[in-house]
Amino acid sequence: MLELDEVVKRYSSASEDVRAVDGVSLRVEGGEMVSLQGPSGSGKTTLLLLAACALRADAGSVRYQGRDLGSLSEQQAAQYRLGEVGLIGQGTHLMARVPAVENAATKLLLGGVALPEARRRAGEWLERVGLSGRTLHTPEELSGGERQRVAIARALVGAPKLILADEPTGNLDSQRSQEIIALLGALAREQGAAVLLVTHDGEATAAADRRLLIRDGRLEDDASARGDAVEGARGA
Ligand code: ADP
Ligand code: MG
């Protein structure tokens, strides 16, 4: 589903040149949830934004269902983000003074779905993230954790095939975190979504089908995640 091959992304300024992603190759298939862990500044967010085609690779390729995202026009990239991707970003960026249900319905409204239908479908996702009693609250009337869950619902509305989640449980208590991770896992298993989950949460990592580690823009081998640590030790 998602395939990165030797991807490099640099941020350049007059004073420095940061290789935020430095030769990363990975695949995430439909039906699997892959976790991505790494220290702050290691390139996790950049990697997700590349997969969302919100950033373009400087070298290497990012492919979705075989299609090179680097070849998309800006309009095609916007279409890709709207139609295929559920991006749960690090910030919630909700629209101020707009009810939760309409915030959650953003993608549907942008896609031309009529307001009553968009509200109904967004309401179902708010229910799935435990916010059925808060649909008419505006962001100002919600807690940080509730706002985060509105943003999660907004990303998941429309059942995207590729779910990119950037520390989605950062603001949530452990009970809520587990529910959200269980929901993401269920979307992979039941709807065949490919889920790439950036997290520091040990329980979230444990729920993943595979675990990736990133440091200084490079993926590191996580032998335990491949289940061949013992094999490797034996061979040594
Ligand atoms: P993480 O999500 O793992 O904390 P990021 O992908 O946000 O890491 O950042 C990776 C590196 O790229 C860091 O060194 C960060 O300072 C740098 N970086 C991220 N975004 C920008 C940007 N827009 N301009 C310049 N440097 C950036
Ligand atoms: Mg980040």
The per-residue pLDDT for range 204-231, each reduced to its tens digit, is 999 999 999 999 999 997 645 544 444 4
Q: What is the pTM of this model?
A: 0.92
Say how far residue 185 (Cα) sits from the centre of its chain.
12
Phi, psi dihedral angles at 151 (to 5 degrees): -65, -35
The pLDDT, as a whole number, for residue 50 is 98
Q: How far apart are CA 105 and CA 171, in angstroms?
A: 22
Which atom of ligand 1 is nearest the CA belonging to 42? Answer: 3
Place of tokens 């992603």: 21
Which atom of ligand 1 is nearest the CA belonging to 46? Answer: 6
Q: 17: which 2 tokens? A: 């040149």
Q: How many CB atoms lie within 10 A of CB 180?
A: 23
2 alpha carbon – ligand 1 mean position (Å): 22
Q: Are 87 and 58 in contact (CB under 8 A)?
A: no
Q: Which residue puts its alpha carbon closest to atom 6 of ligand 1?
A: 43
Q: 142: which 2 tokens? A: 């919600």
Q: 88: which 2 tokens? A: 């749960």
The pLDDT, as a whole number, for residue 28 is 98
The pLDDT, as a whole number, for residue 232 is 40
113 alpha carbon – ligand 2 mean position (Å): 32
pLDDT digits (tens, 9 = 90+) for 101-116: 999 999 999 999 999 9
Q: How far apart are CA 120 and CA 87, in angstroms?
A: 21
Cα angle 75, 64, 214; round to 5: 110
Q: Are 214 and 52 in contact (CB under 8 A)?
A: no
Q: How many CB atoms lie within 10 A of CB 124?
A: 12
Q: Which residue puts its alpha carbon closest to atom 5 of ligand 1?
A: 43
pLDDT digits (tens, 9 = 90+) for 2-13: 999 999 999 998
Q: Are 100 and 135 in contact (CB under 8 A)?
A: yes
Cα distances (Å, whole numbers) of residue 45 to 60, 67, 183, 217: 18, 22, 21, 11
41 alpha carbon – ligand 2 mean position (Å): 7
87 alpha carbon – ligand 2 mean position (Å): 13
Q: 53: which 2 tokens? A: 């085609």
Cα distances (Å, whole numbers) of residue 91 to 6, 15, 144, 184: 28, 27, 11, 18
Residues of the chain with pLDDT under 70: 222-236
**Length of the chain measured in residues:** 236
Considering only the C-alpha atoms of the chain, give the largest distance between any 2 of them, rounded to a whole number of Å. Answer: 63
Enumerate residues lining ligand 1, CB below 6 A.
11, 18, 20, 38, 40-46
Question: What mean pLDDT value characterizes the chain?
Answer: 92
